[in-house]
A and B are shown apart, each in its own frame.
Chain A
């Protein structure tokens, strides 16, 4: 029974991750910890493994349909990895709780903006009808996203999708598909680090990955058909969840007496 429930969670996370380009770890970690009582040190690598599975299954479809921008993905990937390394280096000198609060407030702002503002123009769907602008903003934002990924254990998707969509004028679906392509590489590197430390529980990963692969293949087929406005609202709702998690995490660190 537990195996089937884990598979169902994987299907949900995979579908949502493929639709929005966030990998699905944001959804999976709370479900595993709160719903199944799995310790966080096992839940995080298992969810990262699911992010990799999600990226492989969904990106295959997106690359084939020319929704993923390979060049943009490679460029931002370099900045993300550099940011992650720097984040790992400065982690000892930065107050994690403060970073979590700042990131939580930022995601809250972006989600509210996405929920309350209307899309002004019809966006093109394919990668051939637009030109990304403002590369310096995109690269520096990806650097920050990588750093936050290393400091807070969140994927870069919730930051990179709005960055590409609003900052670089990339169509939302292309931004989502490109983010999906990128999270696989960073996720694989993170999982490898966890696996070397022996924190990867494959008995937990097996049903989750099977569910995620199924959910991601369905989500990647739906994504081109779902209206962009609906995707944006869904993304904003997920960002609200991330903001809540980050503010909780930061608040717990900054004012532990209030939370206990």
Chain B
């Protein structure tokens, strides 16, 4: 059964609703108002000129002035950078020394020759020296970095340890 809808001039009549509470009815456009649909024919005629999505008119502007970091966060970031430098130095010393020892072991596979023997000897002495210098350099670096952070007490301690080590090695003690 087809549903019949009662119509008037404006639109369908809403059943059960009194005309006084329907709200304002659409008024006719003012006399001198410009029509909104004048551009539509052009958009249909030249679709390439009207892409589906326009780029954002106002992209987010780059922040030219960095936000001021809180003191504690800046301090922690600097400390973290210092620790990364110490770790990097230790790892470089270990890897380079290990690489030289591996190279010396690889050279042992070659036929024995005077030059090969000299190369093995040089590589091993270099590797051992690098390995021995690395922790001492770490100590000096840790003292310097803590000093740069204002913790001079630890710089003095590191200097003291280095001095005592030099004294111990010089005197032939085994620390």
Residue numbers in A under 8 Å from B97 (CB-CB): 53, 56, 209, 213
Distance A117 CA – B80 CA, assembled complex (angstroms): 36
Q: How many A-B residue pairs have CB under 8 A?
A: 168
Interface contact A200-B98, CB-CB below 8 Å: no
- Is residue A98 within 8 Å, beta carbon to beta carbon, of the partner chain? no
Which of B91, B135, B139 has the most CB atoms of chain A within a 10 A radius of its CB?
Answer: B135
Stretch in contact with the other chain, from A28-36, A57-65, A157-165 = A57-65
Sorting the interface of chain B by its residue count into under 10, 10 to 19, 20 to 34 or 35 or more gives: 35 or more
Interface contact A206-B105, CB-CB below 8 Å: yes
Size of interface on A: residues with Cβ below 8 Å to B: 55
Nearest to A146 among chain B residues (CB) is: B175
Distance A88 CA – B139 CA, assembled complex (angstroms): 22
Given contacts A57-B94, A66-B83, A209-B98, contact A88 B168 (CB under 8 A): yes
Q: Which of B91, B127, B131, B165 contacts A60 (CB 8 A)?
A: B91
11 A-B residue pairs with Cβ-Cβ distance under 8 Å, sorted by A, are A56-B131, A56-B138, A71-B151, A74-B139, A78-B164, A203-B124, A205-B124, A206-B101, A209-B97, A209-B131, A210-B102
Q: Which residues of A contact B (CB under 8 A)?
A: 3, 49, 52-53, 55-57, 59-61, 63-64, 66, 70-71, 73-75, 77-78, 80-82, 84-85, 88-89, 146, 149-150, 153, 181, 184-197, 200, 202-203, 205-207, 209-210, 213
Q: Which residues of B contact A (CB under 8 A)?
A: 80, 83-84, 86-88, 90-91, 93-95, 97-98, 101-102, 104-105, 121, 124-125, 127-128, 131-136, 138-139, 142-143, 146, 151, 154, 157-158, 160-161, 164-165, 167-169, 171-175
